[in-house]
């Protein structure tokens, strides 16, 4: 354990909040992306529809993964604070 290590939990929470905002924008962009028009039925229409669906799905997954990262950052900040509280309690009991 390094006694010089400090976790800035306020900064971690701010980062998580910012990341959640980014995740919401990415997920919203995926949900609001227009579907390609099915006509005219050119040779590339099916490929274009498949590519658009894949891009939409990828953006939705990216948004979900980004939100999960934000959740994990918030959990880490909470864990750091809980560890600090436990250490402070042990120090108080040791006096």
Q: What is the pLDDT of residue 37?
A: 74
Is pLDDT of 90 > 80? yes
> Would you list the DSSP string of 48-82?
HHHHHHHHHHHHHHHHHHHHHHHHHHHHHHHHHHH
Tell me how many domains the chain contains. 1
Cβ neighbour number for residue 60 with a 10 Å cutoff: 17
Task: Measure the CA dihedral 59/60/63/64, to 10°.
Answer: -140
Residue 2: inside a domain, yes or no?
Answer: no
Is 20 contained in some domain?
A: yes
pLDDT average, residue stretch 15-32: 95
| 83 within domain boundaries | yes
Question: How far apart (Å, rounded) are the C-alpha atoms in residues 95 and 84?
Answer: 17
**4 belongs to a structural domain:** no
Q: Which domain holds residue 33?
A: 9-94
Q: What is the structure's pLDDT at 33?
A: 82
Q: How large a percentage of the chain has pLDDT more than 90?
A: 57
Asked whether residue 88 is domain-assigned, the answer is yes
Determine, yes or no, domain membership for 16.
yes
pLDDT digits (tens, 9 = 90+) for 52-84: 899 999 999 999 999 999 999 999 999 999 998
Whether 23 is covered by a domain: the verdict is yes
Is residue 13 in some structural domain? yes
Residue 1 has pLDDT above 80, yes or no: no
């Amino acid at each position: 354990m390094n006694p010089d290590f400090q976790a800035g939990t306020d900064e971690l929470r701010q980062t998580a909040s910012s990341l959640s905002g980014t995740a919401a924008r990415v997920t919203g962009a995926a949900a609001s992306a227009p579907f390609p028009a099915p006509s005219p039925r050119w040779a590339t229409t099916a490929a274009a529809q498949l590519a658009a669906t894949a891009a939409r799905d990828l953006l939705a997954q990216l948004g979900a993964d980004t939100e999960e990262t934000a959740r994990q950052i918030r959990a880490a900040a909470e864990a750091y604070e809980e560890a600090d509280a436990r250490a402070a309690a042990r120090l108080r009991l040791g006096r």
